[in-house]
């Protein structure tokens, strides 16, 4: 992975990977990038040396795949390495051969074209305990094959080849178009999978998403066929995984995985890429907007409750054809109007206060704060009566500041009974890892602030808990309504004793008061 990323950073358009015994005996990567100059060859295998960052400020806007200067140095400490490269300005290549115990090695002239060739032999030969953890050669080969497929999706203009004697490798020509009919994609995805793919393309919240997802006719019990890139970087992201799963909903059975190949582009200043040893995870500044972008885009692609995302600043009129969902952040409107076939279907949210939804006999309105107050009371009492403590894991644990920790930890047992998992870190504060399953989607930090403040004022536990939850529900404080929550609220309202107002009766009364009679 690190070697291919180096080739891509060097501007390569043709990368060939040759393996022997799944890479256990030899890994060779050849590219046609701009190469390494003779004077930089020794520095390239030195720890913490990188040519990809020139100034300290570059760390804040990393665009290259590699940036730490650790990969080659680490490899040379556990393998025999032969590094040959010809820079664009050189007449011929220079080669550096090194072993873990080599001292003061010098480059020597070699032969070859512009670009770099690196060959790694006898990986982990001097660390037998580490080598023992490698899988069988065939298994390692298929792992590498999956990785090259992911690179091939992420960099469609680059030719990739993977070879090993006795096993079927890869030969992927550059893509001429982003249509599935292009030979690149047909070869990459295969005939059967290609037939099930639907395109995804959307641009909103300052981000852009493109790629493909499979329809429900192609589920799999394996998740290794999923591919995600953020700003060209192959990553795993729990927020995206959750958004994809939520978008499919009940269309895919538990234990099954859908295929997706998604490329997401967001401003570099909103992504921290230096958070994982293998650079397989990134930290997103506004993960809620990322979630909504993925969720809404896939819903649209699948044709399930299609969502229209107007461009920022536009003032579009909601569709009246009964087949779309309109999402307006500036006016705080959520409008869903697929075929109106079941009661408790949300239609529109007005000013993040009132939910208008389809009931059994007419269209009704409820106050969302009051509705959740009643739902929450029933859930809290039900949880305490039955002793349930079902919880859900947070995608990223939330930190409790030291100023709030002491008073909150005094009630840790009661919180744990409800489903909160709070780890005391002493002077560093605490971490919230789990929250009760019965809760709506809440802003954890706001909840903790309000909850500790109420307790410090001498309020009792239960009233403080109720108040803090109700005033931390996401849709009451943000312009981005939680669609799943609105669906749940509408169904609860249509089936319970929550106070509702008939929109027809309300309008009749308003028009009669104005002297207009039918």
pLDDT tens digits, the chain, 518 residues: what are they?
A: 999 999 999 999 999 999 999 999 999 999 999 999 988 888 888 887 777 767 776 666 676 777 777 888 889 999 999 999 999 888 899 999 999 887 778 899 998 899 999 999 999 999 988 888 888 999 999 999 999 999 999 999 999 999 999 999 999 999 999 888 899 998 998 888 888 899 999 887 678 999 999 886 566 666 677 899 998 889 988 888 888 888 887 777 777 788 899 999 988 888 887 766 667 778 887 787 888 888 888 888 887 545 444 444 443 333 323 333 333 333 333 333 333 334 556 677 776 677 777 666 667 777 777 777 777 777 777 655 444 446 777 777 788 888 888 888 888 888 888 888 888 877 778 888 888 877 777 888 888 888 888 888 888 888 888 888 888 876 544 444 455 556 556 656 555 545 556 666 666 666 666 666 55
Residue 459 lies in a domain: yes
pLDDT at position 121, please? 95
Taking a C-beta distance cutoff of 8 angstroms, is the pair 372, 473 a contact? yes
Residue 487 lies in a domain: no
**Residue 42's domain is classified under what CATH number?**
3.30.565.10
Residue 504 lies in a domain: no
The verdict on 91 and 131 lying in the same domain is yes
Residue 518 lies in a domain: no
Q: To which H or E segment does residue 399 belong?
A: strand 391-400
Q: What is the DSSP annotation of 3-70?
A: HHHHHHHTT-SEEEEEEEGGGTSEEEEEE-SS---HHHHHHHTSTT--SS--SGGGGGG--SS--SS-
Rounded Cα distance, 165 and 167, in Å: 6
Name residue 170's beta-bridge partners: 162
Number of H helices, E strands in the chain: 17, 25
DSSP letter at 310 equals: P
The verdict on 192 and 136 lying in the same domain is no
Q: Is the pTM of this model over 0.75?
A: no
The verdict on 117 and 194 lying in the same domain is no
The verdict on 71 and 14 lying in the same domain is yes
Taking a C-beta distance cutoff of 8 angstroms, is the pair 358, 489 a contact? no
The verdict on 58 and 135 lying in the same domain is yes
Structure tokens at 318: 């909601």
The verdict on 202 and 345 lying in the same domain is yes
In the numeric block, the tokens 């809760």 are attached to 439
Residue 501 lies in a domain: no
Cα 267 from chain centroid (whole Å): 15
Rounded Cα distance, 175 and 229, in Å: 17
**Residue 340's domain is classified under what CATH number?**
3.30.230.10
CA 480, 486, 487: angle at the middle one, nearest 5?
135
Residue 489 lies in a domain: no
The verdict on 49 and 90 lying in the same domain is yes
pLDDT at position 412, please? 84
pLDDT at position 330, please? 33
pLDDT at position 329, please? 35
The verdict on 220 and 273 lying in the same domain is yes
pLDDT at position 504, please? 65
Q: How many CA atoms lie within 13 A of 421 on its CB side?
A: 10
Q: 260-265 and 227-230 as β-strands: parallel, antiparallel, unpaired?
A: parallel
Name residue 167's beta-bridge partners: 164
**Residue 420's domain is classified under what CATH number?**
3.30.1370.100
The verdict on 162 and 20 lying in the same domain is yes
* Domain extent for 103: 2-172
Rounded Cα distance, 152 and 460, in Å: 58
Give the three-class secondary structure for 434: strand
Looking at the structure of the chain, the number of domains it has is 3
Residue 510 lies in a domain: no
Residues 6+ apart with CB under 8 A from 102: none
Reading across the β-sheet that carries 233-234, which strands appear in turn? 197-204, 207-214, 260-265, 227-230, 233-234
The verdict on 159 and 194 lying in the same domain is no
**Dihedral (Cα; 362, 367, 372, 373), 10-degree rounding:** -130
The verdict on 15 and 82 lying in the same domain is yes
Cα 358 from chain centroid (whole Å): 33
The verdict on 118 and 236 lying in the same domain is no
Taking a C-beta distance cutoff of 8 angstroms, is the pair 265, 271 a contact? no
Residue 515 CB-density burial (10 A; 0-12 exposed, 13-18 middle, 19+ buried): exposed
Dihedral sign (CA 436, 221, 261, 304): negative
pLDDT at position 31, please? 96
Residue 515 lies in a domain: no
Cβ count near 278 (within 10 Å): 8
Q: What is the DSSP annotation of 201-249?
A: EEEETTEEEEEEEE-TT--BS-STT-EEEETTEE---HHHHHHHHHHHG
């Amino acid at each position: 992975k690190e070697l291919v990323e180096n080739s891509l950073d060097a501007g390569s358009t043709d990368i060939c990977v040759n393996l022997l015994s799944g890479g256990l005996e030899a890994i060779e990567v050849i590219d046609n990038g701009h190469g390494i100059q003779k004077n930089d060859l020794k520095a390239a295998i030195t720890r913490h040396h990188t040519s990809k960052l020139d100034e300290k400020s570059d760390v804040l806007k990393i665009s290259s795949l590699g940036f730490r200067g650790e990969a080659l140095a680490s490899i040379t400490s556990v393998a025999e390495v032969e590094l040959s490269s010809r820079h664009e300005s050189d007449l011929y290549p220079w080669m550096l051969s090194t072993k873990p115990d080599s001292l003061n090695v010098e480059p020597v002239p070699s032969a070859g074209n512009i670009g770099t060739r690196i060959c790694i032999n006898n990986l982990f030969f001097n660390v037998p305990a580490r080598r023992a953890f490698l899988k069988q050669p065939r298994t390692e080969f298929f792992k590498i094959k999956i990785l090259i497929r992911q690179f091939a999706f992420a960099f469609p203009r680059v030719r990739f080849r993977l070879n090993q004697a006795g096993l079927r490798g890869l030969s992927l020509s550059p893509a001429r178009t982003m249509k599935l009919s292009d030979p690149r994609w047909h070869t990459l995805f295969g005939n059967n999978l290609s037939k099930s793919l639907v395109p995804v393309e959307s641009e909103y919240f300052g981000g852009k998403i493109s790629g493909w997802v499979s329809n429900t006719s192609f589920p799999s019990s394996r998740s290794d066929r999923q591919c995600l890139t953020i700003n060209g970087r192959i990553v795993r992201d729990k927020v995206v995984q959750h958004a994809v799963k939520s978008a499919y909903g009940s269309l895919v059975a538990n234990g099954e995985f859908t295929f997706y190949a998604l490329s997401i582009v967001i401003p570099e200043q909103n992504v921290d890429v230096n958070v994982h040893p293998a650079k397989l995870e990134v930290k997103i500044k506004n993960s809620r907007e990322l979630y909504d972008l993925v969720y809404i885009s896939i819903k649209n692609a699948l044709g399930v409750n299609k969502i229209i995302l107007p461009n920022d600043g536009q003032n579009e009129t909601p569709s009246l054809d009964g087949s779309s969902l309109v999402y307006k952040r500036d006016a705080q409107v959520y409008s869903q109007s697929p075929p109106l076939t079941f009661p408790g279907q949300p239609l529109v949210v007005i000013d993040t206060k009132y939910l208008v939804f389809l009931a059994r006999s007419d269209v009704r309105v409820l106050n969302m704060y009051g509705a959740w107050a009643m739902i929450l009371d029933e859930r809290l009492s039900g949880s305490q009566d039955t002793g349930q403590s079902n919880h859900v894991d947070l995608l990223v644990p939330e930190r409790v500041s030291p100023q709030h920790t002491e008073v909150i930890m005094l009630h840790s047992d009661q919180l744990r009974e409800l489903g909160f998992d709070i780890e005391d870190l002493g002077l560093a504060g605490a971490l919230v890892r789990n929250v009760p399953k019965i809760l709506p989607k809440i802003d954890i930090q706001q909840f903790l602030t309000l909850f500790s403040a109420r307790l410090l004022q001498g309020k009792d536990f239960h009233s403080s808990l109720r108040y803090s939850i109700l005033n931390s529900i996401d849709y009451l404080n943000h312009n981005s309504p939680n669609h799943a929550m609105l669906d749940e609220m509408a169904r609860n309202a249509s089936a319970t004793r929550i106070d509702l107002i008939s929109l027809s009766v309300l309008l009749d009364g308003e028009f009669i008061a104005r002297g207009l009679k039918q």
